[in-house]
Structure 1
């Protein structure tokens, strides 16, 4: 009778979402991202502490969330903390977060960066993530678009650069990152909060010149010059082709309403 009562209590606890975090074997990962952003989460597992077993990669496949992010994106992912493969007890090691952002309609009009959530048995307090009374933990970052031209048509392309921000919003040198211990994760929610910088900037120095309305692209030695550094020439500029085909002389404040020739 005692064993039956304990089983009933355990079953009831598993069915609840609050007050039974110790019985949960998962946590929720979610993200607050700018428009046209999405993440892909890849979860990696290693043998638990004290285990001497190993599991081949074929039997320890990496679960992915939002793999088809262009068509089936969901901000919430329920991530398993412990699992067993081939009789070997595994625990989560880290979650690799691929941050994807689109800036045009073509398949390649895409910027990509990475973030990570690491999980350890123990962590120094300075590196340990925290949770509020509702069981929610959060880490933040800021992404910025860096623009350049590419190819013989000088097509404008963008590179995504993301950095971690501290509690005061100051940019740090590392990518967005958080770390938690195994025993604090069950039943909790971890959120990655990313904001987009208000302004974009050139990817390479001395290739664009700041003017009213945006930036002008230095001509370089000729239109065919792929690097086209200014080298002190701030009078000769070139056109460039926007995603979608529009030809402009200033980015982002393009005022041309018809195609130009280089």
Structure 2
């Protein structure tokens, strides 16, 4: 399906002398400070800049991807254009979508992801937009946490990643990490995604694990074939499980009691 972007997305520009950004091609630096075994993939999205009457479609490739091959060619820092020209149409960035990937094992499928986002607008209320320090850097802070469960008759551990934003007081809040900026804030500046990893993991499904000294024990349920295996008040019968590398364990995450 072809999707069309029209130049009036940003509104109309009364006169170039009044501050239209047509013709600019500045970039900003995006970088990330992530925990070990983490990476990001970014997609910068563009639409016709203010005052443009041209159109582009998805077939014109108006978006830019960064770290597409995040497993093998990852780089934490990239220059992202604020304005670019596609087929003679001047485009302005309006969004950067960030997929945060984290691996927990050696197999190709031993990973999970969550997301963050940068929103860019022509104008924002002062309380909505992020600020920059004297060095020209602005931080988007977040915290990710692993949750774990078992799958299959051998009860292999699989993990899910959940990332939340961290407010100015350092508190983890609802919603994914997000930062909002105006177009004129970004040229020549640096936006940094700071992600910390929670100290403890948690079960992804309630009443399936029991907290014990040193970790968590998996309730047996009806049998190993019982995929959910809720405890249902039975906190004495536990099962073994297997770590992603195949090792059989009785307590998570330390494996042995």
Determine if the TM-score, normalized by the shorter chain, exceeds 0.5: yes
Q: What is the match of residue 87 of structure 1?
A: 88
Q: What is the match of residue 232 of structure 2?
A: 231
Q: Distance in 2 between matches of 1:159 and 1:55?
A: 37
Q: Distance in 2 between matches of 1:34 and 1:242?
A: 21
1:148–1:200 distance in 2 versus 1, CA, 3 Å: same
What whole-Å deviation, never above 9, does each CA across 1:47-99 have from its counterpart, x for those lacking one? 11233332011113421111111111111010011112223221001111110
* SS of residue paired to 1:183: helix
Q: Distance in 1 between matches of 2:153 and 2:96?
A: 39
Q: CA deviation at 1:30?
A: 0.2
Q: What is the match of residue 4 of structure 2?
A: none
Q: Distance in 2 between matches of 1:250 and 1:228?
A: 16
- The TM-score normalised by the length of structure 2 is 0.88
* SS of residue paired to 1:55: strand
Q: Identify unmatched segments of 5+ residues in structure 2.
A: 1-23
What whole-Å deviation, never above 9, does each CA across 1:124-152 have from its counterpart, x for those lacking one? 11110100111111110000000000112
- Residue-pair matches, total: 234
Q: Distance in 2 between matches of 1:149 and 1:25?
A: 48
Q: Identify unmatched segments of 5+ residues in structure 1.
A: 1-22, 257-262
Q: Residues 111-190 of structure 1 correspond to what in structure 2 (within 5 A)?
A: 111-190=112-191
Q: Distance in 1 between matches of 2:134 and 2:217?
A: 51
RMSD: 1.2
Q: What is the match of residue 13 of structure 1?
A: none
Contact 1:24 1:187 in 2 (8 A): no
What whole-Å deviation, never above 9, does each CA across 1:163-210 have from its counterpart, x for those lacking one? 000112101101010010000100000000000000000001101000
- The TM-score normalised by the length of structure 1 is 0.87
Q: Does 1:39 align with 2:27?
A: no
Q: What is the match of residue 78 of structure 2?
A: 77
Task: Give the number of the structure whose alpha-carbon radius of gyration is greater.
Answer: 1
Contact 1:45 1:60 in 2 (8 A): no
* SS of residue paired to 1:235: coil
Q: What is the match of residue 14 of structure 1?
A: none
* SS of residue paired to 1:106: coil
- Bigger drift between 110-119 and 83-92 goes to 83-92
What whole-Å deviation, never above 9, does each CA across 1:221-259 have from its counterpart, x for those lacking one? 111001111111111111111011001110012127xxx
